[in-house]
Structure 1
Amino acid sequence: MASASIYRQVLGADYARLQPELQDYFDPGEGAGQYGAGSGIFARAGCPRPWLRPLLRLVPVSNAFFPDYGTEVPFTIRNYPHRDPWGRQALTAVRSFGFPAGPRIFEDTTVLTAPGVLTDYLGRQRNLATNLVLQVTDEGHLRMNSPASRLFLGPLRLPLPGFAAAEAHVEQWWDEAAGSFRIRTQVIQRQLGTVFEYDGMFHYALRPFDGVLPGDVEPDRWEHRV
């Protein structure tokens, strides 16, 4: 039997306030037999601060905050509802950004780690974790904020202090006039301002899914710590 999606479970009654198209987008849960796939063009994507881009290469999290920046960037996304190795309901997403030097991947797994609690694990090693707070706007858009992060390095769990941490702000909605989904993401560091962003439109459809994550979607390792 299919489970209610992690977004439906966390939002509860507020889920019905989402735009109908967003409800369809976020509705497949584990066992639903469907995954989502989308493609489009993003007006901008990457790190908007040239001096900061080389430093992003030093961040010990791969397939997350890449050191490129561009406009009119081709974009694809795949969303797979499943359970993680510890039986927790999860949604794994793989996003690809088509830069001239080659594609950049941004991947994560959002996990229902407790009733009403979402934890997002980022990167190929899933070693950057952040809280995920959901809110439905008056217009029926979905807002997602990540107010607290921690880095896992081997056995160490390292909460990121305020001067090093950055907060992610995401808003997603259905653009009726354009007939496509819109998403706007900003990662903001307190002292530096926006250090990473992507903003654009994409089309999206549900496809059959047997529940087994494809090999290129499986991370190099999973993380269960919160």
Structure 2
Amino acid sequence: MTSIFRTVMGADFDRLHPALRRRFSVGLTSGEACTGHGVMDRLWHGGAFVKPFLALGATRNILVPRQGRHVPFTIENVPYTDGFGRETVTFVRTFHLPGRPRRFDAQMVLGPRGDHIVDYLGTHQHLACDLHFGAEPDGSLLIRSDRHRFRQGPVDVRVPEAVNGTAEVRESYDERSGRFRIRVDVTHHRLGPLFGYEGSFTAVYSDVRTHGVRPDLRPVREEPRA
């Protein structure tokens, strides 16, 4: 077995910078979890029309309805086996904003054909999208999202194009500073930029077999459909 990220990327995984290869090797096979601590130079969102959607999403730890500069940041990537027997890796991002920290939660599992990652968003996994991973010529990682789906009970529908956003994540490693750099942009095909952040962080690794996964990193509800 190997990490879910190496599985979807295949030979492309070996083109990543070695620091990125280790970071995205976290999983049950490696037995490692990764925690990043850093600063987001910029946390932003689009115009006033975006705020109601961000505020609604924030009730389930989806997106962040705040803006800021030089925001302390933590990302926790911890592998575990979910209630349906699937290897899952947490992507829990905490923005330590003045007054109240804000979280953006996601859990990632391998798609049924092994060619993409399914990204479950929020505390209740009501939103899901497919993620596609690729290595750039400079060894950085590019992740692009597909259309979102809403799932609750028997309901399984694609989010209407009118309100659907597309995410693009670029992550690289700066050897001079010894830091990972990340940029996230969520855009709408007509309305333009919706939400994003960019900054840098350092990473530390821990033995997940010893420490396990904290209960607050797992979702309240798990979605069985991949």
Amino acid at match of 1:4: T
Offset, 1:188? 0.5
Matched with 2:85 is: 87
1:137 Cα shift? 0.5
TM-score by length of 1: 0.93
State the distance in 1 between where 2:59 and 2:149 align. Answer: 12
> Which residue matches 1:127?
126
Could you tell me which residue of structure 2 aligns to residue 186 of structure 1?
185
Q: Distance in 2 between matches of 1:55 and 1:208?
A: 38
Is structure 2 residue 160 aligned with structure 1 residue 161? yes
Alignment of 1:136-155 (within 5 A): 136-155=135-154
Determine the C-alpha separation between the residues in 2 that align with 1:61 and 1:223: 18
Q: 1:169, CA displacement in angstroms?
A: 0.3
How well do the aligned residues superpose, as a CA RMSD in angstroms? Answer: 1.7
SS at match of 1:206: strand
1:76, 1:65 → 2: CA distance? Answer: 15
Query: In the alignment, which residue of structure 2 is the partner of 1:118?
Result: 117
User: Paired residue for 1:220?
Assistant: 220
Structure 1 gaps of 5+ residues are none
**Cα displacement (A) at 1:158:** 2.1
Cα displacement string for residues 108-142 of structure 1 (whole angstroms, at most 9, x for unaligned residues) = 11110222221100001111100101111111111
Structure 1 equivalent of residue 38 of structure 2: 40
SS for the counterpart of 1:96 is strand
Give the equivalent residue in structure 1 for 2:28. 30
Shift of 1:86: 1.5
Provide the residue aligned with 1:207 in structure 2. 206
Unaligned runs of 5+ in 2: none
Aligned match of 1:195? 194
> Is contact 1:82-1:89 (8 Å) kept?
yes
| Residue equivalent to 1:20 | 18
Correspondence for 1:56: 54
- Which range is displaced more, 76-85 or 130-139? 76-85
Q: Which moved more, 1:87-96 or 1:163-172?
A: 87-96
Instruction: Give the count of matched residue pairs.
Output: 224
Hey, what's the Cα distance between the residues in 1 that align with 2:14 and 2:119? Answer: 23
Work out whether residues 46 and 65 of structure 1, in 8 Å CA contact, stay in contact via their aligned partners in 2. no
Equivalent residue of 1:125, what SS? coil
Q: Distance in 2 between matches of 1:148 and 1:135?
A: 18
Q: Greater helix share, 1 or 2?
A: 2
- 28-37 vs 191-200, which moves further: 28-37
Q: Give, in angstroms, the shift of residue 212 of structure 1.
A: 3.3
Structure 1 segments of 4+ aligned residues over 6 angstroms from their partners: none
Q: Decide whether aligned partners of structure 1 residues 216 and 60 sit closer, same or farther in structure 2, where only a CA change above 3 A counts.
A: closer
CA apart distance, 1:60? 8.3
State the AA in 2 paired with 1:222: E
Q: Greater shift after overlay, 147-156 or 64-73?
A: 147-156
* Distance in 1 (alpha carbons) for counterparts of 2:58 and 2:44: 17
* Pairwise CA distance, 1:61: 6.3
Q: Summarize deviations over 1:37-63 as a string: whole Å, max 9, x none.
A: 110010111424344223422348610
**Secondary structure at the counterpart of residue 57 of structure 1:** helix
The residue type paired with residue 204 of structure 1 is A
Specify the alignment match of 2:102 in structure 1: 104
Instruction: Give the Cα–Cα distance (whole angstroms) in 2 for the partners of residues 58 and 23 of structure 1.
Output: 35
